[in-house]
A and B are shown apart, each in its own frame.
Chain A
Amino acid sequence: MALLEVNNLSVQLQTKTGFATAVDRLSFTLDTGEILGIAGESGSGKTMSALTLLGLLPQHAKVTGSAKFDGQELVGMTNKQWQQIRGKNIAMVFQDPMTSLHPMLSIKTQMTEHMITHLGITEKQALVDAEELLIDVRIPDPKKALSSYASQFSGGMRQRICIAMALACKPKLLLADEPSTALDVTVQAGILTLLNRLREEHHLSIIFITHDLGVLSSITDKLLVLYAGREVESGLTSTILQHPRHPYTQGLLDSLPQPDSKEKLLKSIAGFPPELGKQPIGCAFAERCKFAEPRCTGHEVQPTFAADDHKFYCAVDPFAFTESREVGA
């Protein structure tokens, strides 16, 4: 049994004009020690998918489908049940570390309170554990760090402290929502190395959300590419980045800077994704896709399996016979 099994999970959010589908029938699984990447442009539903797994959706959101964590159904759980899971079995790291760090409380208070309530350990033990966690995330002088406040750390250190806090109750699943997007490449490299080590040493499972395909390439085992709330392609990271089959995935890869290009202009996908609640029936990418045909819209696009573990949703499949991509120098 996989650690996490998500089936036909949908999320509807309340908007001024009624309910709108932000996450549309997602299905995926995640094993222990595995890292799944979720890619997609802004507004494609990446964060909403993660928040569903923590029971933290905006008010009045409707969730349908199923998400089983360690065999337990998460959809429809009560607040009380969520409190048993949230932070303890499933933890999250957000893009902006200041959303999870309190500016007026010391790092010690924030870390240990959490551990004392969830793990039922003594304050003394919690302090010892907190110090070890900070060492784990490579914070120099952890004793001093514990008595400091968030504002006294750099962005990269704050994010590492957030990761330490998220790991405090030894979760099995970590949801990392753009944890390194706001950081520099040098600091980001440190965070990626850290997460990879946690997976190897502690068999932590991670869902890593970002639109940065370079980051996804370096750390994830498999990928789920979203567009307008729907899956467009999924499979092993290496397969998807080297043999993308969906035109949107291909377009995303093409829009990355090309190391050997003499051309100043980047390739880009013209246009914008559909607004929330205005996704068409059929392929949501059709308006921007240069391969679009009448058969792409008006009815649901069925999935095609390129291999057992490589699936995509495109009626035309223009890249069926293309050679493997050569990317990166």
Chain B
Amino acid sequence: MNEPQPILTLNDVSVTYKRADRTKLTAVVGVDLTLNRGEILGLVGESGCGKSTLGKAAVGILPTSGGEILFNGTPVAPLSRSVRSRELLKLQLIFQDPYSSLNPRRKIGDQLIDGLVNYGVGAEEARENSAKLLERVGLSRSTLTKYTHQFSGGQRQRIAIARALTLQPEVIIADEPISALDASAQAQVANLLVELVQELGMSMIFISHDLSVVRQISDRTAVMYLGKMVEVANTHEIWDDPRHPYTKALIQAIPKPDGKGFLPLELPGDVPDPRTPPSGCRFHTRCPIAIAECSVLEPQMALTNNRLSSCLLNNELKEKRSENVV
């Protein structure tokens, strides 16, 4: 295999929200992550763990409070509320909720064409490009003259994908693009994304809380818990041999469609409030194998037997040989 070439790199990235009541919430805490050229990287974790926040920061529409993000070597940072530098146009986010990112009162064609015309493409060419994109995502040209309410959830998601593609991005961050869809529409949209990545030579971060689809389509998988990364590995390794107790719990909680009637395993407890995260290991309040030290010592991402995870039990066992990695 060729040496992986990083296209998007996050170094020690943190994102803090300042709420109206002046409390602060650090939704992403010291995350290191690399997306390689041509790769699909799955990002999974429970609701509220910071996946969308990380995605928005990674494309530069949300300011970071620490660390740096590099896209093709260029620092990613919001220039201002509405302006993004030209290089960053090659870095696109498909929003979690297509209802909120598409304007219900404007024709779909106009919304697609704007993206192009604003960047100097002639109106006629823009229209033709948009029609082609819609066809590419499996919709007819007549979609241009329609409004979003005339489409089903799966079709709207395709429109959102087409819009993200108008500026021929190199990297797409797809935030839960299939969660709201039913099984058959999920497969259609997931396939569309995989095909686009392969055909157009793009790279993609695929955010989802459903590990089973991530397993099928992504090359590597990153697992987050309460703002921190807990495990990153090749997808088949994570699945066959999860190293972090939270990753194990996630996998065991997936109900299997085998008709055998087994209930999936529960992970007791609720996700703690991120404003007051637990001390030590953030997972210790729910971890089935926690030991006393877990509530005091904060584990770091470290390599153990060539696998990257953040658990005291993994790290301590191999303390001597482990090396801290970025």
Pick from A157, A189, A216, A251: contact of B267, CB under 8 Å: A189
Please tell me which one of the listed residues B191, B195, B216, B253 contacts residue A258 in the complex, with CB atoms under 8 A apart.
B216
- Asked if B117 is at the interface of the complex by the 8 Å CB criterion, the answer is no
Taking a contact as CB atoms closer than 8 A, the residue among B188, B239, B259, B265 that contacts A327 in the complex is B259
CB distance from B38 to the nearest CB of A (A): 12
Q: Which of B48, B216, B253 contacts A261 (CB 8 A)?
A: B216
In A62-102, the 8 Å CB interface with B consists of none
| Closest B residue, CB atoms, query A154 | B270
- The reply to whether B184 and A255 contact each other, CB–CB distance below 8 Å, is yes
Which of under 10, 10 to 19, 20 to 34, or 35 or more describes the interface residues of B? 35 or more
Q: Known interface pairs A217-B259, A327-B257. Does A255 touch B183 (Cβ–Cβ under 8 Å)? A: yes
B215 within 8 A of A: yes
Assign chain A's interface to a size class: 35 or more
A218-B264, A327-B258 in contact; A251/B184 too (CB < 8 A)? yes
The reply to whether B183 and A41 form a contact with Cβ atoms under 8 Å apart is: yes
Q: Are B262 and A218 in contact (CB under 8 A)?
A: yes
Q: How far is the CA of A216 from the CA of B154 in the complex (A)?
A: 22
A residues near B210, Cβ cutoff 8 Å:
185
- Selected interface stretch from A25-33, A122-130, A206-214: A206-214
Binary contact readout B238-274 vs A (1 if CB under 8 angstroms, 0 otherwise): 0100000000011001111111111111111011000
Q: Is the CB of B48 within 8 A of A257?
A: no
User: Does A41 contact B255, Cβ atoms closer than 8 Å?
Assistant: no
Give the shortest distance, in Å, between B307 (CB) and chain A (any CB).
20
Known A-B contacts A255-B183, A268-B191; A241 and B264 likewise in contact (beta carbons under 8 Å): no
A154 to B47 alpha-carbon distance, docked (Å): 9
Contact B195 A265 (CB under 8 A): yes
Residues of chain A with a CB closer than 8 A to B188's CB: 268-270
Whether the Cβ atoms of A214 and B259 lie closer than 8 Å is: no
A14 on the B face (CB < 8 A): no
Which of A40, A189, A259: most chain B CB closer than 10 A?
Answer: A189
A279 to chain B, nearest CB (A): 16
A38 at the interface (CB under 8 A from B): no
Are B187 and A267 touching (Cβ within 8 A)?
Answer: yes
The minimal Cβ–Cβ distance linking A236 to chain B, given in whole angstroms, is 9
Contact mask A192-225 → B, CB, 8 Å, 1/0? 1100100000000000000111111111000000
Nearest chain-A residue to B246 (Cβ)?
A186
Q: Does any Cβ of B come within 8 Å of A49's Cβ?
A: no
26 pairs across A/B with beta carbons < 8 Å? A156-B270, A185-B209, A185-B211, A185-B250, A185-B264, A186-B266, A188-B255, A189-B255, A196-B263, A213-B183, A214-B255, A217-B258, A217-B259, A219-B261, A239-B259, A240-B259, A251-B184, A252-B184, A253-B257, A256-B183, A263-B216, A266-B216, A270-B188, A272-B152, A272-B154, A327-B256
* Chain B residues at the A interface, C-beta cutoff of 8 Å: 40, 46-48, 152-155, 181-188, 190-191, 194-195, 209-213, 215-217, 239, 249-250, 253-268, 270-271
Taking beta carbons and an 8 Å cutoff, which residues of A are in contact with B? 40-43, 154-157, 183-190, 192-193, 196, 211-219, 237-242, 251-253, 255-259, 261, 263-270, 272, 327-328
